[in-house]
Amino acid sequence: MKCMNISIALSTCFISVTKSSSFVNPIVRNKIYCKTSKKLHNCNAPIDMRLFSDLRNKDDESESKQKLKLLSPHFRILCLHGKGGSGITFQKNLSLLENSLRLKFKDKKISIGFDYLTAPYPLNDVDIRDGYEWWGLPPGMRSFNADKYIGFEKSKNLVLEALEKNSYGAILGHSQGSILLSIMMTSEGWNFDDYFYILNGSAWPNPFSETLENFDYESHGKPEDNEIKTRALFVIGKNDKINPPEGAVRIRDLLKGKGVSVETCMHEGGHAFPVRDELSLENISNWLTEVINIEFKLSE
């Protein structure tokens, strides 16, 4: 599994996502604002919009410490927001999880990176503040009872492109983003054990029922040795009124039945990622800590 990455500091910059006539995903195409020249510069190369997260506290650190930090082993997590969200809003929602995880590895010289992809379809062509979706649905239908996901292939390819451009250790999906993840991770040709997975507020992907039911872990990269690694964490709210818990439980139980080692973080809340629930946040952070320790062969 390729999850080690060396980050290189380009300059003190931040990302500005610009609006154009065609959809621009911030992780794929951006403009960089350089504080030195005070100008926006076009950049055709793919940019990880969280690359500069390690530079936030640069003024408080010595140059030598900063260089050491940027050259540290790097575990990256690709995050897929839910319907009506965006990469930017999802980053705000998960900031407490980011902080919790980074604190756990502060003294282990491992950088933790979170990348946030934005879905390709705006809910409102006039006002993008309404957020984005990974696919459209026929009128009156939901993801768990629809017979098709309109525009699914474009979203799938967007995620595949992001995975090709960067080395990730884990993928985290929320709501529609977790439904997308459940389809991709069980699809033919996917090497399941290349990543760890967190699925929050998921639902059964009805148009892709056959994909999940035909999932064969043996042909998707199941390790031949007897070592069992927990590959997926399902985060489920008992009072989820958007995607009822039974949908996520159905996906979880299917994976377990196929031989995948999974864990569950069940909480009393609803559909939102439970960052305000201290116990759930700590459980999720501890699970990620465990898998990162496994990847880098660290002691607890």
pLDDT at 290: 92
pLDDT at 160: 97
pLDDT at 282: 96
pLDDT at 125: 83
**What is the SS3 assignment for 218?**
helix
Could you give the CA distance from residue 59 to residue 80 in angstroms, rounded to a whole number? Answer: 31
CB under 8 Å to 282, separation ≥6 — which residues?
100
Ramachandran angles phi, psi of 264, nearest 5°:
-130, 135
pLDDT at 299: 58
pLDDT at 239: 96
pLDDT at 224: 59
Q: Given the structure tokens 């390729």, which residue do they identify?
A: 2
CB under 8 Å to 194, separation ≥6 — which residues?
1, 2, 221
pLDDT at 221: 62
248-273: b or e for each residue (b if 16 or more CB lie within 10 Å)?
bbbbbebbeebebebeebebebebbb
Beta bridge partners of 262: 232
Cβ atoms of 20 and 37 within 8 Å: the answer is no
pLDDT at 98: 96
CA angle, 191 as apex, 206 and 248 as ends, to 5°? 30
Per-position pLDDT tens, the chain of length 300: 444 443 333 232 333 333 333 444 444 333 333 333 333 434 333 444 444 344 444 444 445 444 444 455 789 999 999 999 999 999 999 999 999 999 999 888 788 999 999 999 999 987 788 899 999 999 999 999 999 999 999 999 999 999 999 999 999 999 999 999 999 999 999 999 899 999 999 999 999 999 999 999 887 666 655 455 679 999 999 999 999 999 999 999 999 999 999 999 999 999 999 999 999 999 999 999 999 988 887 655
pLDDT at 67: 45
